[in-house]
Amino acid sequence: MPKKTPVWQLVGTQSFPTKGEAEAFAIAQRKKKSQAGYKTRYEIDMDPQSGQFRVREFYYITDNKGNLL
């Protein structure tokens, strides 16, 4: 299956001191967004200058049946 390209990406402004905290935040956001009907993907990136972790969100577009376009 070919990889779908996201229509929009958002780098969070909130920083987390540990990767575990960032993952917990991403899991909570994923649950909220899926209940609202959004198709999203999350990545956790480390800022090399500060050593803090940030959550990057990728949004995908769907058709009426919920299939990715």
- Give the tens place of pLDDT for each residue, 16-65: 999 999 999 999 999 999 999 888 999 999 999 999 999 999 999 888 88
**6, 41 in Cβ contact below 8 A?**
yes
**Residue 1: predicted pLDDT:** 44
Q: What sign has the CA pseudo-torsion 30, 56, 42, 19?
A: negative
* Beta-strand pair 53-60/39-46: antiparallel
**30, 4 in Cβ contact below 8 A?**
no
Residue 12 pLDDT more than 50? yes
Per-residue pLDDT, averaged over 9-17, amounts to 91
pTM here is 0.79
**Residue 64: predicted pLDDT:** 85
From CA 28, how far away is CA 55, in angstroms rounded?
A: 12
